[in-house]
């Protein structure tokens, strides 16, 4: 593949801006399907930045494959679990339980608090898909825009995914700069919780009231050969077990990884690696789906033909979302391969800004340039690590704040090269403009507020 760094920084920046403008024009004005628009613009951007014609298709498919490899199974398993919970009547049971606990007037708060707990160990995309049946059930019961209930939940997921271990961004950044993981968790909670309430929950409420959107049918659809095909609703204890099972498995993975790093257990032992394998997010969700098929289907004497139709109905609507998410990842990969993000980060690094400010801005640049929050924060950590080591004298508290500054920058300005943008857009059945006005605004507000609190604490200590 040709070295695209031979292009001037100004030319790379112009290509980046032009590609985004063209993509939005094709989707919003021309009304070209987003998957086709993303593929066309990704190809044009790759060629414009110097990628040879012979390497064009391998580059596009590599970007598509990397994204699908990380999200396709999560979306698929999450959709199956969500469909099983929905068709069995479990979503109504869980919704009724939340409403009894919090009251109908505080339903968005109930969903947001539940999402805080559910989003702690699970990636945003998987947790969001699994929570959707409950969100939709509450929205159908109480009425109003689905965004009134969905956005307070997404705000909680964004905070947990971006700021707190065991999510990969802050974990990788802490390892790169040699920060204390426990202190990162403590400061992440101290800064993340007020950020969640103001920029996640309250802003989500405000945005939800501004945009009227009906409850999507993507996870419900028609009943399977009869409204009561899966019998009476399951007990709430069964449903809570199904929701907590993937959390427990993922926590098992994280706990064993921590013990292995500390030398408390042998990380090369077969039993350790086996337990860690079942705690990987795709494996944890697959196990949960199989358990759900047993508890909600086979144990209640429903035949395999019924459950097969349930699974088929779950997978069919999300195929477009999976492909759309992969195409968004393809576009982000092309921008990353072009060197645009590296050029922007280098320009910022040469400005001599305070380390905590530079960490935030470099993460912002990498986020805007290539889309992935995890890549943005880990890249920022890699770029900042030599400066942190050269400066010396940073306390563990200061290091934890620098990591949170990077995490804050990694979630602002989510746009068309972010696979999460297309995931949320697809499942909530929003158009692109509405997604910008809701999801992008909410994520940016969370990132900016997080950085503001980080900077305030950093200046005081």
List, for residues 131-164, the tens digit of each pLDDT value: 888 888 888 888 888 999 999 999 998 998 888 7
The structure tokens listed for 435 are 């997604």
Q: Work out the pLDDT band at 206, boundaries 50, 70, 90.
A: very high
Asked if the peptide bond before residue 166 counts as cis, ω within 30 degrees of 0, the response is yes
Q: Do residues 172 and 378 make contact, with C-beta atoms less than 8 angstroms apart?
A: yes
Looking up tokens 């659809």 gives 221
Q: Is residue 6 predicted with pLDDT exceeding 70?
A: no
Long-range contacts (CB closer than 8 Å, 24 or more residues apart) made by 61-65: 62/333, 63/329, 63/330, 63/331, 63/332, 63/333, 63/334, 63/337, 64/326, 64/327, 64/329, 64/330, 64/333, 65/326
Residue 225 has a pLDDT of 44
Q: What is the mean pLDDT of residues 334-360?
A: 72
Residue 9 has a pLDDT of 67
Length of the chain: 461
Q: Which residue has the higher pLDDT, 187 or 264?
A: 187
Q: Work out the pLDDT band at 412, boundaries 50, 70, 90.
A: very high
Q: Which stretch of 61-65, 243-247, 419-423 has the lowest confidence by average pLDDT?
A: 243-247
Residue 355 has a pLDDT of 80
pLDDT digits (tens, 9 = 90+) for 77-109: 877 877 787 777 776 777 677 778 778 788 899
DSSP letter assigned to residue 166: T
Q: Work out the pLDDT band at 5, boundaries 50, 70, 90.
A: very low
Strand, coil or helix: what is 52?
coil
Q: Work out the pLDDT band at 226, boundaries 50, 70, 90.
A: very low
Q: What is the mean pLDDT of residues 352-368?
A: 82
Q: Which residue has the higher pLDDT, 290 or 331?
A: 290
Looking up tokens 């993340």 gives 192
Q: What is the mean pLDDT of residues 424-442?
A: 90
Q: What is the mean pLDDT of residues 413-437?
A: 86
Q: Work out the pLDDT band at 218, boundaries 50, 70, 90.
A: low
CB atoms within 10 A of CB 62: 15
DSSP letter assigned to residue 89: T
Compute the C-alpha angle 180/183/188, nearest 5°: 125
The structure tokens listed for 154 are 């997404």
Residue 4 has a pLDDT of 46
CB atoms within 10 A of CB 209: 13
Residue 211 has phi, psi (to 5 degrees) of -120, 115
Strand, coil or helix: what is 304?
helix
Residue 2 has a pLDDT of 44
Q: Which residue has the higher pLDDT, 390 or 376?
A: 376
Q: What is the mean pLDDT of residues 238-266?
A: 79
Residue 441 has a pLDDT of 94
Q: Do residues 321 and 422 make contact, with C-beta atoms less than 8 angstroms apart?
A: yes
| Mean pLDDT of the residues in the chain | 79
The percent of residues in the chain predicted with pLDDT above 90, rounded, is 15
Residue 228 has a pLDDT of 45
Q: Do residues 204 and 152 make contact, with C-beta atoms less than 8 angstroms apart?
A: yes
Q: How many whole angstroms separate alpha carbon 413 and alpha carbon 396?
A: 29
DSSP letter assigned to residue 254: H
Residue 121 has a pLDDT of 56
The structure tokens listed for 342 are 């590296």
Q: Is residue 306 predicted with pLDDT exceeding 80?
A: no
Q: Which residue has the higher pLDDT, 57 or 338?
A: 57
Q: What is the mean pLDDT of residues 311-330?
A: 74
Q: Which of 68-82, 88-102, 188-202 has the highest mean pLDDT?
A: 188-202
DSSP letter assigned to residue 214: P
Q: How many whole angstroms separate alpha carbon 181 and alpha carbon 162?
A: 14
Q: How many whole angstroms separate alpha carbon 237 and alpha carbon 73?
A: 26
Does pTM surpass 0.75? no
Q: Work out the pLDDT band at 454, boundaries 50, 70, 90.
A: very high
Q: How many whole angstroms separate alpha carbon 70 and alpha carbon 75?
A: 10
Q: Do residues 130 and 81 make contact, with C-beta atoms less than 8 angstroms apart?
A: yes
Q: Is residue 428 predicted with pLDDT exceeding 70?
A: yes
């Amino acid at each position: 593949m040709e070295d695209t760094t031979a292009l001037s920084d100004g030319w790379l920046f112009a290509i980046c801006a032009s590609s985004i403008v063209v993509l939005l024009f094709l989707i919003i004005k021309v009304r070209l399907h987003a998957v086709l628009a993303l593929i066309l613009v990704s190809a044009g951007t790759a060629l414009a930045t110097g990628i040879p014609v012979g390497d064009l298709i391998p580059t596009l498919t590599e970007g598509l494959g990397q994204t699908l490899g990380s999200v396709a199974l999560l979306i698929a398993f999450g959709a199956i679990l969500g469909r099983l919970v929905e068709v069995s009547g479990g979503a109504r049971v869980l919704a009724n339980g939340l409403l009894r606990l919090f009251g109908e007037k505080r339903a968005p708060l109930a969903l947001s608090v539940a999402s805080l707990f559910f989003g702690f160990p699970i990636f945003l995309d998987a947790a969001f898909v699994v929570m959707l049946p409950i969100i939709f059930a509450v929205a159908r019961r109480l009425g109003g825009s689905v965004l009134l209930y969905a956005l307070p939940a997404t705000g909680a997921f964004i905070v947990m995914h971006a700021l707190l271990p065991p999510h990969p961004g802050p974990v990788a950044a802490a390892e790169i700069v040699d920060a204390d993981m426990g202190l990162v968790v403590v400061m992440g909670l101290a800064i993340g919780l007020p950020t969640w309430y103001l920029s996640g929950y309250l802003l989500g409420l405000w945005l939800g009231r501004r945009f009227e959107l009906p409850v999507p049918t993507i996870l419900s659809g028609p009943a399977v050969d009869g409204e009561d095909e899966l019998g009476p609703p399951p007990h709430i204890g069964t449903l809570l077990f199904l929701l907590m099972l993937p959390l427990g498995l993922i926590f098992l993975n994280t706990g064993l990884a921590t013990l292995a790093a500390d030398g408390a257990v042998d990380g090369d032992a077969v039993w350790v690696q086996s337990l860690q394998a079942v705690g990987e997010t795709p494996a944890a969700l697959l196990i949960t789906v199989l358990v759900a098929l047993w508890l909600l289907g086979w144990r209640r004497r429903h035949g395999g033909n019924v459950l097969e139709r349930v699974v088929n109905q779950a997978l069919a609507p999300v195929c477009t979302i999976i492909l759309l998410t992969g195409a968004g990842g393809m576009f982000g990969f092309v921008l990353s391969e072009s060197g645009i993000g590296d050029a922007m980060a280098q320009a910022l690094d040469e400005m001599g800004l305070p380390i905590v400010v530079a960490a935030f801005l470099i993460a912002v640049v990498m986020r805007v340039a290539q889309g992935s929050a995890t890549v943005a924060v880990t890249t920022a950590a890699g770029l900042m690590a030599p400066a942190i080591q050269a400066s010396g004298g940073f306390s563990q508290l200061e290091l934890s704040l620098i990591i949170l500054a990077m995490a804050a920058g990694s979630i602002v300005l989510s746009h068309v090269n972010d696979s999460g943008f297309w995931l949320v857009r697809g499942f909530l059945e929003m158009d692109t403009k509405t997604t910008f006005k809701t999801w992008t605004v909410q994520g940016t507000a969370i990132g900016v507020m997080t950085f503001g609190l980080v900077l305030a604490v950093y200046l005081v200590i």
